[in-house]
């Protein structure tokens, strides 16, 4: 099962993207919106894990290691027609609140690289169960 990094390509924490997507007041986002980035290298090294984006968005279920089931979307326009991020739906802040809870952080706190390192992970392990269900693991 592949790991998806929660960091930038340079191994840094996103300032106004990724888990901190909603922290940019000039964005179209809400304060705690988050997404998990999907780098093209992950797509290329794991054929069949992700599909190219369909013309109509399809809601999928993310089954987390702690028993939480979250509805989500594969969004954004990445290279070769693949999505570039994993988001929660119907609200993008569901994922942001979830990660802050897992990290033991106040809901209003930006997530730092040190928070992830202290927790013990900077990645999420993902596996496709079927077309509409994915397993995600953020356990330590």
| Cis status, amide bond into 90, omega within 30 of 0 | yes
Structure confidence by residue, pLDDT tens digits, 18-50 = 999 988 777 777 778 999 999 999 999 999 999
Spatial separation of the C-alpha atoms in residues 81 and 34, rounded to whole Å: 22
Spatial separation of the C-alpha atoms in residues 119 and 77, rounded to whole Å: 31
Spatial separation of the C-alpha atoms in residues 98 and 70, rounded to whole Å: 10
pTM of structure: 0.92
Structure confidence by residue, pLDDT tens digits, 120-139 = 999 999 999 999 999 999 99
- Tokens found for residue 15: 């300032």
Structure confidence by residue, pLDDT tens digits, 42-82 = 999 999 999 998 888 899 999 999 999 999 999 998 888 99
């Amino acid at each position: 099962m592949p790991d998806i990094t929660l960091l930038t390509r340079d191994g840094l924490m996103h300032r106004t993207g990724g888990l901190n997507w909603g922290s940019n007041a000039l964005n179209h986002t809400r304060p705690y919106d988050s997404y998990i980035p999907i780098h093209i290298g992950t797509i290329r090294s794991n054929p069949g894990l992700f599909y190219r984006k369909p013309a109509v968005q399809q809601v999928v279920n993310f089954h987390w290691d702690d028993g939480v089931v979250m509805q989500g979307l594969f969004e954004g326009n990445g290279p070769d027609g693949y999505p570039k991020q994993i988001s929660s739906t119907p609200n993008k802040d569901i994922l942001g609140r979830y990660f802050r809870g897992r990290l033991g952080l106040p809901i209003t706190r930006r997530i730092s690289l040190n928070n992830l390192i202290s927790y013990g992970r900077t990645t999420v392990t993902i596996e496709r169960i079927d077309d509409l269900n994915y397993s995600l693991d953020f356990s330590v």
